Structure 1
């Protein structure tokens, strides 16, 4: 307690935190601490965003394993450089050793000549048997054969079964050329081999001309 008389400044309670109307508070305000926290948070957020977008472009923090395939792919597309040929070495492509030879046309086989038919032997005699029933036909046929150079051994009538047409018989294979020649001469197409005839036998039948 002082000995001075009390005035208007002595009305402030002694337990109050107020130290005078003309002095600033010594205790810091709570609002200043909250602003510091917000400022630090904003700075941290800005730094995080900058690190996320800027550092990958600068190549910082990327994995070496991710860049290895890119290097391999770039190396795989590189075309090999042509090797310089040695002096005196030809650069022309070597023909394949297994190249097929040029195909030559196969020779055309010549047609097999048909065997020449044996010539008729007019020295062999011929028998004429009339099978038409017309008298004198046997002699007429014999005359036609003689005019062509043939020799008639016998002229008679046919004694076998009645015939439907004219026939020329021959006994052996060597007589076939003579029978074919007489077939063309007399116009008789039927030529028959039979062991019953020893000589070529002409039998003019019905309708013989």
Structure 2
């Protein structure tokens, strides 16, 4: 026991929560957890602010932010390309009124068919070569090709240097050309003095 006499301070129950001024006030154990949570929250806030303001300046995350803009550029170009490139669009077909039409005067006229030889027209055969029987041989030769001989005789005109086929007008030209090819006589002469196509066999006729 204490050697000092008891006073009013000794009347405080031992279970009382009151403490003397000389004793240190103890912090409850549960208050330490709240302080830890507050500290962690402040640190997390500081880290978030640093990531928001500092990291973009350092270039971190710039590629991720730039990719949406880059992906939008082709879409914008594609949307503008049809209107910006008129050369790719099909050109309008010319209207029928703008197409030049050929006038009737410019239409080419059909070429008339070549005249055909008429073997029903009679042929006169004259011998100017001095060879006896030559006129009859020519008559037989053209008769085998379907021609009709109207007369066979001797040439009474100016002496000729070669064989000649005479014809009168365009109506007899086709017959004269056909006989020229058949007999091998290239010389043709138009003359109104002959009423029929006349074959005159001159010197050297074969």
| TM-score, scaled relative to structure 1 | 0.48
| TM-score, scaled relative to structure 2 | 0.49
Q: Which has the larger radius of gyration?
A: 1
Which structure: greater helix fraction? 2
